[in-house]
Amino acid sequence: MDALLSNPNVMDMILSVVAMVISLGWAWIRRNEKLQNATLQKAMDCIAAGVQASYDDYVRSIKDASADGKLTDEERKTARDIAMNRAIAYAKNQGVDLLKVIGADLLPMFMERYILKMKGASADVIEPEILK
C-alpha cells in the first residue's frame, strides 16, 4: 500500500479524482441554488399575475360601479380569494407548487405586499412576466 501511495502517478490520479469530485459537488450546489432562485421567481411572478388578474377581472369593475370607489370587506375577501386561486393556477401551469415553494402561511403576506405595490403605482404599469 505504501508503494502505491508513494508512486507519483497514483497520487496525481487520486488528487485529480478528489479535485473532480469537489468540482462536481460545487457545480451541483450552484445548479440547485440557481434552480431554487428561478422557481422562487416563477412563484413571485405567479402571485403578481394572480393579483393583477383579480384586479382586472373583479376589483376594477366593482370600484367603477361603487359610489365611493372602495370595496367592502366581503368584496376585498373575494378579491383576495380570486387572486390566490389564480396565482395557484398560474403556478401549476408553470410547473410550480406555489403552496410548497412559498408556503400557505406566507402566500397571503406576499399577495398583500404586491397589492400594496400596485396601490402605489398605476395598475396598468405593473405587468407580471407570466402575462407577457
Give the C-alpha separation, 17 to 11, whole Å.
Answer: 10
Minimal CA–CA distance to 97: which of 48, 32, 50, 40? 40
Q: Return the SS3 of 122.
A: coil
Q: Which three cell numbers stand for residue 68?
A: 365611493
Each residue's pLDDT tens digit in the chain (132 positions)? 666 667 778 778 888 888 888 888 887 787 777 777 788 889 999 999 999 999 999 998 988 888 888 888 999 999 999 999 999 999 999 999 999 988 888 899 889 888 888 887 554 444 555 545
Inter-CA distances, 79 with 47, 71, 107, 121, 128, Å:
13, 9, 14, 19, 18
pTM reported for the whole predicted model: 0.66
Arithmetic mean of pLDDT over the chain: 83
Domain boundaries, the chain: 2-131
Which pLDDT belongs to residue 123?
45
Minimal CA–CA distance to 44: which of 95, 111, 117, 92? 111
